[in-house]
Chain A
Amino acid sequence: MDSQFFLSLVVGTFIGGAAGYLGSLMLSKRMALVAGPLGHLTLPGIALALLYGFDVSLGAFPFVILGIVLIWLFEIRTKLPMEALTAIVFASGVAITFLFLPIEQAEAALVGDISRVHLTEAIISVLVAILLYFVVNKIYPKIILINISEELAQSEELNIKKYNLIYLGVIAIIVSLGVKMVGGLLTAALVAIPASAARNVSRNLVQYAYGAMVIGIISSFLGILLYKLAGLPPGPLIILASTLIFLISLILKK
């Protein structure tokens, strides 16, 4: 196995697993689609990273933070539903990108490219994905309670603002990692599809959360393997592999 392919496979499975795990939390708060607009908003950052030759996750991160702050500000200032606000942010991200990103570099920004990941980049991505897992694991029951009912969480004296902030922080990180793998266009699918498939077949929280993680890992593994075999872009293949698992989960649905 050539080392570049191995690196891609390792990074892909770690990010895929962390994204699936966090996705199970996001799906329960109907937040999965928020990753979409945030992914789109990273596009100008990715464009800058591609033009100046630095890590796309690094380029993406400040733009995700900007997106989260904007959505949060809009939510305070207006009574518009979250979907409308995210749509505004999302379209703006795409529009800004295509003002200055050369079209020949658009593919990597839109659908990602894990096949050319460097060693240092790979080590950092894997470590961040592991750290992310532990943080999500720690906040998981608290966020579930907040998702079920903020009032119930408050009556349990949970610091909702603190946990929501940590939660948004991990979303920002996973989106930044995700764009490296599947690009700005497909990041929402990276978190939403494994969790949706796991929900179809699980009867309790452990099956659901870890099911989503395992499906995330398998999809990334299969997608990158297919890229090696077929020579098609890995980002879309990872997403299509998870879609296939989702379709199978529909058949197995309890």
Chain B
Amino acid sequence: MENDLILRVRNLCVTLDHQSVIEDLSFEVTKGDVLTILGPNGAGKSVLLKTLLGLLPYRGVIEWAKGIKTGYVPQRLPFIKDIPLSIKDFFMLKKPSQKETVESLSSVGYGEDFLQKKIGDLSSGQFQRILIAWGLVGKPQVLLFDEPTTGVDISGEETIYNFLATLKEERALTILLVTHDLSVVYKFSTDVICLNKQPICYGPPQEVLTPESLQRLYGGEVKYYQHKH
């Protein structure tokens, strides 16, 4: 694989329960990119992320650069609050050293004292940060992020995206992010894939997010796009 190329996807097709979810998708990710996967609900965005992680069967080519470690931050974990789990317990499921746990926690702005807190007592913003910290254990070079809850203030004015931008610089991360929030794409991404089962556009957002492509993506419901001034 060429220098700095982290991921190459060619002619990817995913079929689940005899229904085609992703058709003929090709793209590439280079080191330091923030690739946003944009599309309406049910467009196959999360399926794409899971397929890239090797969790779902597919046809086509998914080629990661050698030695690449990925961290996965899931959309939500509905069953986690059924179990009396402290943050320390949650990290221990991954068996990191105490030092690494503390480092990951401090990357998301929490001290060691936070380890004793119960997961069930966290606010949604705090929980989101903990999920990111968990994804950072093992020092991944690529973070795959499934639809962070938009509008959650994770501390004061800081949104999850400002926070991710800072984290990306600090840890030299490459980020693949699923969202249906258009504003995120302009603020944060180097590239965007518009996906509605079939790929609709792919490239830098300022170039490929045209009113026409958005219309095709969302079917006439779009009221927001950024003008190129």
Residues of A within 8 A of B (CB): 27-28, 30, 141, 144-145, 147-149, 151-152, 154-156, 199, 202-208
Contacts and interface: CB of A to CB of B under 8 A. Distances in A.
Contact of B74 (A144, A151, A204): A151
Interface stretch (B75-83, B192-200, B219-227): B75-83
A204 B84 contact: yes
B55 A204 contact: no
B72 A155 contact: yes
A199 B94 contact: no
Given A203-B86, A205-B83, A205-B85, A141 B118 contact: no
Nearest to A30: B82
Say whether chain A's binding surface is mostly helix, strand, loop, or mixed: helix
Nearest to A153: B93
Contact of A208 (B53, B74, B84): B84
Max count, chain B CB within 10 A of own CB: residue among A155, A202, A206, A208: A155
B100 interface: no
Contact residues on B (Cβ < 8 Å of other chain), bracket: 20 to 34
B77 A148 contact: yes
Given A141-B93, A203-B86, A151 B55 contact: yes
B86 A28 contact: no
B93 A28 contact: no
A2 B26 CA distance: 77
A207 B85 CA distance: 10
B16 interface: no
24 contacts: A27-B82, A30-B82, A141-B93, A144-B83, A145-B93, A147-B83, A148-B83, A149-B77, A149-B80, A151-B50, A151-B55, A151-B74, A154-B54, A154-B55, A155-B53, A155-B55, A155-B72, A156-B94, A199-B84, A204-B86, A205-B83, A205-B84, A205-B89, A208-B84
Smallest CB-CB A-B distances: 10 pairs: A204-B86, A205-B89, A155-B72, A28-B83, A202-B84, A208-B84, A145-B93, A148-B80, A141-B93, A154-B55
Contacts of A145: 93
Contact of B82 (A28, A152, A203): A28
Nearest to B89: A205
Contacts of A148: 77, 79-80, 83, 93
B88 interface: yes
Interface string B95-110: 1000000000000000
Contacts of A208: 83-84
B167 interface: no
B92 interface: yes
A76 to B, nearest CB: 14
B144 to A, nearest CB: 8
